[in-house]
Amino acid sequence: MDQLTPFPPALAHGAIEEVFSDVFFVSGAMETVLMNLDWQFSRNMTIIRDGERLILVNSIRLSDEGLAQLERLGKVTDVVRLGALHGRDDAFYLDRYQAQYWVMPGLETDPELGAQTLQTSELPLGDASVFQFETSKIPEGVLHLQRDGGILIACDALQNWLSPDEHFCDASRERMEGMGFFTPANVGPVWLQAAEPGAEDFQRLKALTFKHVLCGHGEPVRDNAREAFSETFTRLFPG
């Protein structure tokens, strides 16, 4: 923890990149303890610009240099948490920018954070809807942007780790290779184990209109995302 703040410190991360018009993406490190083991791997934040407003999805605390780059894009007004297994840095942004917090139904948060429930009838974006996994044992959702042919912004359920990057430690890389994490257009292996979702959720998900997916972990999937993920859903949930 920082000595001067109650928030976890910024970890290593890359530069913010514009991946679609007014949609930005940044990758950084995550450090955690799972199963009594230390893990270090990468995660992603998506930033959506709506006029002068910035909506952060799957937040990553940025360095001072990164925050300066972020603030040149606009003003952070909203922070969106899509998954139960994320949220480490949300409170930092809520405090720094006095932003509104949005979370999936069923996600428990500190009452002081003033979270609002994500639902399609009330979202911080006018051209978006929210998809909820209804069979999952832990809350998880996907934001669906109706632009550029359809963009899904996912958390842990949809992943696209093609190979380990600079944010992995060697031990995590070796363990995660054995667990099948480095699979294109994948359903997150740990999330799948924890959530135990049913096939019907993925039938509903692939019925959406989308071309691209920005995941909480891994590279952006461009142009053929619906086809690529549909193949994975069929493989994991045959019949």
For residue 51, the one-letter residue type is: G
Neighbours of 222 (CB within 10 A): 15
Q: How far apart, in whole angstroms, are the C-alpha atoms of residue 141 and residue 118? A: 9
The pair of structure tokens assigned to 53 is 């407003």
In the chain, what are the domain boundaries?
17-236
Contact 118, 103 (CB under 8 A): yes
Contact 145, 24 (CB under 8 A): no
pTM of the model: 0.94
Residue with tokens 């530069």: 15
If you average pLDDT over every residue of the chain, what do you get?
94
As a whole number of angstroms, the longest Cα–Cα distance in the chain is 55
Percent of the chain with pLDDT over 70: 97
Contact 53, 77 (CB under 8 A): yes
Give the tens place of pLDDT for each residue, 119-163: 988 899 999 999 999 999 999 999 999 999 999 999 999 999 999
Architecture of domain 17-236: 4-Layer Sandwich (3.60)
Give the tens place of pLDDT for each residue, 215-229: 999 999 999 999 999
Contact 130, 123 (CB under 8 A): yes
Element (H, E) at 131: strand 128-132
pLDDT of the residue at 5: 61
Which strand ranges, in their side-by-side order, compose the sheet holding 151-153?
128-132, 141-145, 151-153, 212-214
Q: How far apart, in whole angstroms, are the C-alpha atoms of residue 101 and residue 80? A: 6
pLDDT of the residue at 84: 92
CA-only gyration radius of the chain, Å: 17
Please give the C-alpha separations between residue 130 and each of 58, 94, 110, in angstroms, as whole numbers: 14, 21, 22
Give the tens place of pLDDT for each residue, 59-71: 999 999 999 999 9
Give the tens place of pLDDT for each residue, 150-205: 999 999 999 999 999 999 999 999 998 998 899 999 999 999 999 999 999 999 99
φ/ψ (deg, to 5) at 74: 160, -160
Give the tens place of pLDDT for each residue, 12-27: 999 999 999 999 999 9
